[in-house]
Amino acid sequence: MTTAEKKTSTAVRHRTHTVHGVGVFVREAGDPAAPAIVLLPGHPSSSHAYGRLIERLGAAWHVVAPDYPGYGFSPVPDQPVTFDYLAEVTAALLAQLGLDRYVLYMFDFGAPVGMRIASAHPDRVAGLISQNGNIAVEGLGAPLGPLADWWADRAANRATVDGFLSAEGTRAQWQAGLRDPDAADPAVVALDIALLDQPDRRAVAEGLLWDYQTNPPRYADWQAWLAAHRPPTLAIWGARDPFFVPAGAEAYGKANPDAEVILLDTGHFALVEELDAVATAIHAFLTRAYR
């Protein structure tokens, strides 16, 4: 571990930027002139889940972590929030920040957002890191099956999404696959629960869960894009994740033989228990991607 990795006193800047008429809250750290990494969050959380990782990476890299519209501290927009919309707003935000080259770190919902951005702007992508961010049908775990039933009949299976967005559902997602279910910071979990308890934000989350059905039909295209472009790729995965299982990580290596695949003995929110391993792997990856 380098001196830059060990430093944890990195100052984090907090700003809300207006992009396409909507506010986007951003946590940012490091020298803006340094090579950039963009941390794309996943449901049910936002950039505050990356607090410790931002501090670890900001000493050596330019770190940008946005909250999607309607998530975290970004206001709820007036229009429906879809994955296409999130990718459009996020790409526009990065351009507005002056970033013309970056590595995308994709977690959970971050994968369909990031792959849309990468496919649309391949010249801007210096590399891809997937941490339990799925792009393969074989990576979908059994607990996601009820969502497919809900997609098939939204009214009849209403209880599925209600449970998923409940306080118990949010807590269960944070704990999923962890060796120690109590390892997740209760303050971070409580913030996610409190935000999703707001009706307008809950509606955004429900809308995105509904829109997730647009992603599996695009998996083959994203895999083909990886095979054709072969960007530097790291799939670092909590192998105990019941939602996105290890086959999802291995799919990156199948699509891009140059990809590095690392399986960790932890769950969906891998940073909870394996921050050191993930931060060290990211630092090494960024060093290779930007050499």
20 is catalytic: no
Q: What is the pLDDT of residues 32-61, one digit of tens each?
A: 999 999 999 999 999 999 999 999 999 999
The span from the CA of 231 to the CA of 125, in Å, is 8
Strand, helix or coil at 104? strand
Q: Which residue has the tokens 């919309």?
A: 85
Tally of structural domains, the chain: 1
Token reading at 267: 């769950």
218: three-class secondary structure by DSSP:
helix
Total residues belonging to the chain: 291
Beta-carbon-side half-sphere exposure of residue 31 (alpha carbons within 13 Å): 7
Torsion of CA 248, 254, 260, 266, to 10 degrees: 20
Cis bond before residue 257 (omega within 30° of 0): no
pLDDT on residue 3:
38
pTM comes to 0.96
Looking at residue 9, what is its pLDDT?
A: 53
Of 43, 48, 62, 268, the active-site residue reads 268
pLDDT in tens, the chain (291 residues): 443 444 445 799 999 999 999 999 999 999 999 999 999 999 999 999 999 999 999 999 999 999 999 999 999 999 999 999 999 999 999 999 999 999 999 999 999 999 999 999 999 999 999 999 999 999 999 999 999 999 999 999 999 999 999 999 999 999 999 999 999 999 999 999 999 999 999 999 999 999 999 999 999 999 999 999 999 999 999 999 999 999 999 999 999 999 999 999 999 999 999 999 999 999 999 999 999
Domain that holds residue 50: 3-289
**CATH code of residue 223:** 3.40.50.1820
